[in-house]
Structures are given as C-alpha cells and as structure tokens.
A and B are shown apart, each in its own frame.
Chain A
Amino acid sequence: MIHIEVLGPGCSKCQVLYQRADEAAKALGIEYEITKVTDIERIIGYGIMSTPALVVNGTVKLVGRVPSAEQLRVFLS
C-alpha cells in the first residue's frame, strides 16, 4: 500500500494536485492512502520551499507544480 501526501497550505493548485493524485491512484488500481498536509512545520520538514508538492512513501517526487495525469501515474507506480 502506498502512502501519498500532497503538501500545500490550501491554494487552488494544491487542491487540484490532491484530486488528480487521488484519481490517478484509483485509475492505477493500487492500494493507497492519500492525505493533505497543510501544516507548515511538516512541509518544511521535507525541505520543501514551493508548494504544491507530492510525496510518495516518504520520498519527495515533485515540487512546485501540478503534473499531468500521465506524469502522476509514473510517480505513483
């Protein structure tokens, strides 16, 4: 089961990334858990300076933009 975290304080890009990541994971048919992280301290803890960011199983995969659906599928698999 993969753990997906979407980091961001809540601007529209973060919402979009969350939705897209959710959809992509569903489309892949894998077992997953997705959470939205808005807490600044945890975001900093990952060394992130631009949001939104995507973290999969504790590894930062993408920082600063919303990827396309195909790119997301690559990150999640």
Chain B
Amino acid sequence: MIPEPRGAIAEDLSPGAKPESPQSGARFLALKIAAGLVGWAVLYASLPGLSKWVAAHIVPGPRETHLASAVEFFLYEAPKVLLLLTLVVFGVGVIRSYFTPERTRAILAGKSEAAGNGLAAALGIVTPFCSCSAIPLFIGFLTAGVPLGVTFSFLIAAPMVNEVALALLFGLFGWKVAALYLGTGLSIAIVAGWVIGKLRMEEHVEPWVYQMHLTDHGPAEGAVSWDGRVRHGLEAVKDIVGKVWPYLLAGIAVGAGIHGWVPENFMASIMGKGAWWSVPLAVVIGVPMYSNAAGIIPVVHALLEKGAALGTVLAFMMSVIALSLPEMIILRRVLRPVLIGAFVGIVSLGIVVVGYLFNWLI
C-alpha cells in the first residue's frame, strides 16, 4: 500500500444529474475522445525524430558524448513516458468508474478461499484504492464476511499492480516485461493471500475490528453516464499525472545520467546474474523503502542498461512499491505484529522467488 493517488470513482449523489440527449451527446463525446487519441498518437510518433532534433540543437557536436547521450535520452524518454502514463491512467480511470470498494466487497463476501483469492487480486487492480483508506477498507471487507486471506490478496495486488507501474514498464521495457510484471504480481498476491488464509491467523487481527458494526449508510450507486466515465478518466489524469510528474522527471533525469555516464556492464558485478545473493539483498533493501513507481522505474531502466539483471532489478522495484515501513506502521492499528510479520515475510519471499525466476528465464 503506497500513498499513491488512485483515480477514485465519484459517488456523486447530487440530485438530478443532467440527462443528456442521447444521440448528439454521445456522438460529440465520441468525437472528442477520437480527437484526443489522434492527437496523442501524432505526438507519440513524432517523438524520436523531435527529441533528436532538439537535443542536437541544445547540445551540438558529436552524438556520442556523455552529455549529448544523456540529453537525448531525457528528451526522448520523458515525453514518451508522460504520454504513455496519461493514456494508461485515463483508460484505467474509465475502467475504475465501473468499480467501487462497496461493489468489490459485495462480490468477495463469503467467497471460498482459492477462487476468492484470484478474484480479489484481479479486483485489486481495478478497484479505486488509496492507502489512506486502507484501514477502513480492510475493516469493511472483514466485517462483511470477506475472508482474511482474500482481503490480503486484494491489499497486496492493489498497490503493487498499479497502472503507473504498468504504463512505465510498458513504455520503457516493452509489453512482455509489463505482462510478466502483471502476471507475477497477481500470482504473488493470490498465493500470499491464500497462504495467510491457510495459516488461520484471524486471531491476530485486533479484536475490536471484528466488533465493528458496519451500519451501511454508504452511498447508493447512482448510474454513471459515459460522460461521467470520461470525466473520471480525465480527473484521474489530472490527479495522478499531476502528482507524479516531478518524481517521474527526476527518475528519468537520474536514468539519463546513468545512461550517459556510467560505463556498460558496470552494474553487472553487483546486480548481474552472476551475483546470486543480489536478489535477496535487493528485496531486503527494498522492503523498508518507499517510492512511487514513477520515480523508481526510470532509474531501474538505466540500471538494466548497464548490466543489472532483470530479475534483481524487478525484485527491488516490487519490494519498494509493495511494502514499506510507513505502511507497516499504518497496519499496526488493525493487525498484531505476528500477522504483520507473516504478511511481510510471505510477500517478500514471493518477490525473491519471482526475482530468481526472472533471472533464470531471461
């Protein structure tokens, strides 16, 4: 769970949401979306040429110098990643308008373990989630009859497999790596949640949690029009990209520096495939750290270029994003230390396994 803003659906209960005349309203909206997408595609396609051209004007001279190389990297990667991020956040924002924590809870309540874990992990990706509401959400789930293990699957997947990480991975490493991250992230969430469920650790949840009465004054869900959904998408972009872009640029700048100045294969000795201890070490270092995906992935990208092994680097990234010290402190309000320890231990183990797997397979 990370303090990363998530596009949350608006439970808008203001009476009389304007009904639009169906035909013209929908057509106009479709036109707007199409125009936006075309504009996006044009910008994206022009990036390679444009970035080289601008770089050549800012840093004239031979293309292979450290500075020229770094500047070119930055001018290409920064807008590219920002564009990708905007598109993905928008798309996910629209998808998220279909989901609410209340609906997810209703779906998961009383589900049996294995199926529930899978469903919970998948829902964790698309349900709007903010780490500040982790506690109310956790309690809300438990008191509605969602099993502990299933709730954990949700809580592991939600921050780890987030759209920012996926967009960046896709933009910087290609769809295969993004897909692998998605797959392994889900697997860790499902397996870890399932294991925690099997360990029967319900008694390690603070007792007052189960005594809470969830009087459901919760807002009823009004129907959301397509216009509303697009609005959610756009709000998500404003919200998330608006918050994350400084970290992103900083990360890409560091990446550009590494790209321009660090010699090839420099990282191979400490983070390369040969160093077997690098995976557990990366996880141990990563767990207490917190960073949002935007800042760390570009750095990871540059490290990879210099010879770090993919598995080690991804394991580091996952442990930074999925677990953190601030999160453990928040969780202490509802979980006893034993359960927190089990949670951290099992997820870390999963990440280490994934790290080794990546190193071995790729």
User: Smallest CB-CB separation from A61: which chain B residue?
Assistant: B13
- Is B213's CB within 8 Å of the partner chain A? yes
- Is B80's CB within 8 Å of the partner chain A? no
- Is A45's CB within 8 Å of the partner chain B? yes
**Given A11-B130, A50-B136, A50-B137, A60 contacting B218 (CB threshold 8 A):** yes
Q: Quick check: B102 and A49 within 8 Å, CB to CB?
A: yes
The interface residues of chain B lying within 8 Å CB-to-CB of A20 are none
**Chain B: interface secondary structure?**
loop
- Is B212's CB within 8 Å of the partner chain A? yes
- The listed residue (A11, A46, A64) touching B217 by CB distance below 8 A is A46
Chain A 3-31, CB-CB to B under 8 Å as 1, else 0, gives 00000111101100000000000000000
Cα of A43 to Cα of B215 in the assembled complex, Å: 11
Cα of A48 to Cα of B141 in the assembled complex, Å: 11
Chain B proximity of A34: nearest CB distance (Å):
19
The interface residues of chain B lying within 8 Å CB-to-CB of A74 are 14
Q: Quick check: A64 and B128 within 8 Å, CB to CB?
A: yes
Q: Quick check: B219 and A44 within 8 Å, CB to CB?
A: no
Chain B proximity of A77: nearest CB distance (Å):
10
Q: Quick check: B214 and A41 within 8 Å, CB to CB?
A: no
- Is B10's CB within 8 Å of the partner chain A? yes
Q: Quick check: B135 and A9 within 8 Å, CB to CB?
A: yes
- Is B21's CB within 8 Å of the partner chain A? no
Cα of A9 to Cα of B102 in the assembled complex, Å: 19
- Is B3's CB within 8 Å of the partner chain A? yes
Q: Quick check: A11 and B132 within 8 Å, CB to CB?
A: yes
The interface residues of chain A lying within 8 Å CB-to-CB of B212 are 41, 44-45
The interface residues of chain A lying within 8 Å CB-to-CB of B145 are none
Cα of A43 to Cα of B212 in the assembled complex, Å: 11
Q: Quick check: A63 and B11 within 8 Å, CB to CB?
A: yes
- Is B235's CB within 8 Å of the partner chain A? yes
Chain B 8-30, CB-CB to A under 8 Å as 1, else 0, gives 11111110000000000000000
- Is B216's CB within 8 Å of the partner chain A? yes
- Is B306's CB within 8 Å of the partner chain A? no
Q: Quick check: A11 and B3 within 8 Å, CB to CB?
A: yes
Chain B proximity of A31: nearest CB distance (Å):
21
Q: Quick check: B128 and A60 within 8 Å, CB to CB?
A: no
User: Smallest CB-CB separation from B9: which chain A residue?
Assistant: A64
- The listed residue (B3, B14, B213, B218) touching A48 by CB distance below 8 A is B218
Q: Quick check: B135 and A40 within 8 Å, CB to CB?
A: yes
**Given A44-B140, A50-B130, A64 contacting B215 (CB threshold 8 A):** no
**Given A61-B13, A64-B9, A74-B14, A46 contacting B130 (CB threshold 8 A):** no
The 9 closest A-B pairs by CB, nearest first: A47-B218, A64-B8, A11-B132, A49-B101, A63-B11, A49-B140, A47-B216, A50-B133, A74-B14
